[in-house]
Amino acid sequence: MMRAPRPSALLQRITPGTLDRYLVRQMAPPFLISLAVVMTALLLERLLVLLNVLAADGGTLKIFAGLLADLIPHYLGLALPAAICVSVFSVVRRMSQNNEIDALMASGISLLRIARPFVMVGSVMGLVGFSLYGFIQPYARYDFRQAMYFAAHAGWAPHLQSGMFATPADTLMLTADRVDGAGTRLHHVFIRDRSSGLERDISAESGTLRIADDRTSVRLDLAHGIIVTDRQDTAPTLVQFDTTTRIFQTVSQAHTFRCRGNDERELTLLELLRGVHTGDPAIRRPHLVAELHFRLARALAIPFIPILACALAGVAKRQRRNLGLAIAAISLVGFDHALQLGLSLVASRSMSPWLVIWGPFSLFCGACVWLIMHRAGSAGSGRIWRRPFTRLSASPSP
């Protein structure tokens, strides 16, 4: 009877062990909470601006939801590195305070081995960031600009203020003594309509403004009023009504929005790469080169963030304060600003991206690796980095 072949050593090394699954489970809740908190903080200011713009231009909840969906990829790309850093730091800090790190190190597991599952999660998040920065954000940015353009040029908005004289068209004037219901419920309404070669003066006790079903006109439902029609060649006529409806055709100022690609930030990575090699008549080549290297550097730096957080999370037993999270936050913000500066220098000064973008990238990643190696304590811990937790036996003698 033949024995089944044993799995390869490489498969054993990459298969998550008990320690890996435990650390990932511990990381998941703070990661989701941190991601939600950071996303809410980033979106809050922009949401207020959107609400003011849509309220002034008569936007609907559907337009607001669409704009919000277009903003999520952009702010998710900003919140993802911060959420990874905070979640890894909180897990390692809690394990250090509960003596779990000491117990693991006493059994022969180094800080590098503890950081391995976090780096794997960071690598997966790096692929997510690569998709966000390279393909999803360009389309979302263009859709947001297109939606904002049509929302801002949609024409007259069906919202009034008390005593305000609105002119939806050149031959139409509308006013009301008192307005409530966010500008849609009118009281003591007066309308002067000079279309079709005659004049109609309409007064009503109340009215309700709403956008018509075709989305191109405004509907006004009036109640208990009088219509005076002056045809100029005959005597004026007077009609009393209990309810009537007037449809106002609004004049939209929006034209067809431009095609995607006038801005390098609206191009995907493949389109940027093609534009760098073949040339783009609408965008200068330094802008394409800068944007391409900037996105790649941001995505490739994500797997190193868990290394930084894991190295800074350790705390001495008698130390009450730990500035590791503050140092990590300053490092991430400084690194992002360095990449932004490199992007500007490459685009405006045609400097080499290998110097001003990949230079800060190499410095950041090298500092992360050096810091965790320094905290690990010895160069020989590389063997424990590759050793599965389930195969560990008794602790080695000192």
Residue 128, token pair as written in the block: 């997510």
Residue 39, token pair as written in the block: 């996303």
For the stretch 99-143, pLDDT in tens is 888 888 888 888 888 999 999 999 999 999 999 999 999 999 999
Confidence of residue 386 (pLDDT cuts 50, 70, 90): very low
Residues 72 and 139 occupy one common structural domain = yes
The answer to whether position 2 is within a domain reads no
Confidence of residue 324 (pLDDT cuts 50, 70, 90): confident
Residues 191 and 264: their CA atoms lie apart, in Å, by: 49
Residues 129 and 196 occupy one common structural domain = no
Residues 276 and 376 occupy one common structural domain = yes
State which of 248, 282, 307 marks the end of a domain. Answer: 248
- For residue 312, with 0-12 CB atoms within 10 Å meaning exposed, 13-18 middle and 19 or more buried, which class applies? buried
Residues 227 and 274 occupy one common structural domain = no
Residues 168 and 218: their CA atoms lie apart, in Å, by: 9
The answer to whether position 27 is within a domain reads yes
Residues 71 and 137 occupy one common structural domain = yes
User: Does residue 312 carry a pLDDT above 70?
Assistant: yes
**Average pLDDT, integer, range 75-95:** 94
Residues 266 and 144 occupy one common structural domain = yes
Bridge partners, 229 (sequence order): 200, 237
pLDDT computed for residue 1 by the predictor: 46
Residues 140 and 178 occupy one common structural domain = no
Residues 217 and 349 occupy one common structural domain = no
| Residue ranges making up the domain that contains 359 | 18-153+261-380
For the stretch 225-234, pLDDT in tens is 999 888 877 7
Please tell me the least confidently modeled range out of 2-16, 84-98, 128-142, 194-208: 2-16
Q: How far is CA 143 from the centre of its chain?
A: 13
SS3 322: coil
Residues 272 and 285: their CA atoms lie apart, in Å, by: 10
Residues 146 and 210 occupy one common structural domain = no
For the stretch 166-213, pLDDT in tens is 777 778 888 888 887 556 788 899 999 888 778 889 999 998 877 665
User: Does residue 318 carry a pLDDT above 60?
Assistant: no
Residues 79 and 123 occupy one common structural domain = yes
**Average pLDDT, integer, range 8-18:** 69
**Average pLDDT, integer, range 212-228:** 78
The answer to whether position 254 is within a domain reads no
Q: Which helix (H) or strand (E) holds 54?
A: helix 18-57
Please tell me the least confidently modeled range out of 74-88, 113-127, 138-152, 348-362: 138-152
Q: How many Cβ atoms sit within 10 Å of the Cβ of residue 289?
A: 20
Domain count, the chain: 2
The answer to whether position 398 is within a domain reads no
Higher-confidence position of 175 and 355: 355
Q: How far is CA 370 from the centre of its chain?
A: 32
pLDDT computed for residue 146 by the predictor: 87
Residues 367 and 229 occupy one common structural domain = no
Residues 333 and 206 occupy one common structural domain = no
The answer to whether position 226 is within a domain reads yes
